[in-house]
Amino acid sequence: MSSKIGDAFKSVGSIAKGMTITFGEMMNPTITELYPDAPPNFQERYRGVHVLQRDENGLEKCVACFLCAAACPADCIYIEAAENTDKLRISGGERYAKVYNIDYTRCIFCGYCVEACPTDAITHGHGFEIASYNTSTLIYRKEQMLAPIPEGAEFPLKADSPS
């Protein structure tokens, strides 16, 4: 009998403790984001839509090594490689990614692709507005993810140009 009374007091104590926390939070001021009117503030480590980086000359950093696709647990990265020619260089390596697609219907934003990349070609950006009613628009192609050409870069570099 005394154990039932003790259990009842413990239950009432637990409820009182929970309600104290709830009422304490209710009294704190509300923090409101002004999102559509002002840009949101992201932490530096935020994992948004991927960005394919360029080097200081405007060349793509991706050398089509396929390590990002191999590291992806969701299997959402598709790459087709092509060889750089003497007349036109797309990347700093022997190969470049002719096709680089990420299927955001499958991507879990884990960051394994970013960690696996030896040339730091793929990074997470701060883009987050990718919602769509049409799933075919959630397959991002290389052209959508490429970073802009840096100011003063000589792109595309030809084999006979000094660099």
The residue ranges of every structural domain in the chain are: 50-145
Q: How confident is the model at residue 44 (pLDDT cuts 50, 70, 90)?
A: confident
Overall CATH class of domain 50-145: alpha beta
- Number of Cβ within a 10 Å radius of residue 94: 10
pLDDT at residue 161 tops 50: no
Burial 35-51 (b: 16+ CB within 10 A, else e): eeeeeeeeeeeebebbb
- Cβ pair 108, 74 in contact under 8 A: yes
The per-residue pLDDT for range 118-130, each reduced to its tens digit, is 999 999 999 999 9
19-42: average pLDDT: 86
pTM: 0.73
Return d(Cα 154, Cα 160) in angstroms, integer: 13
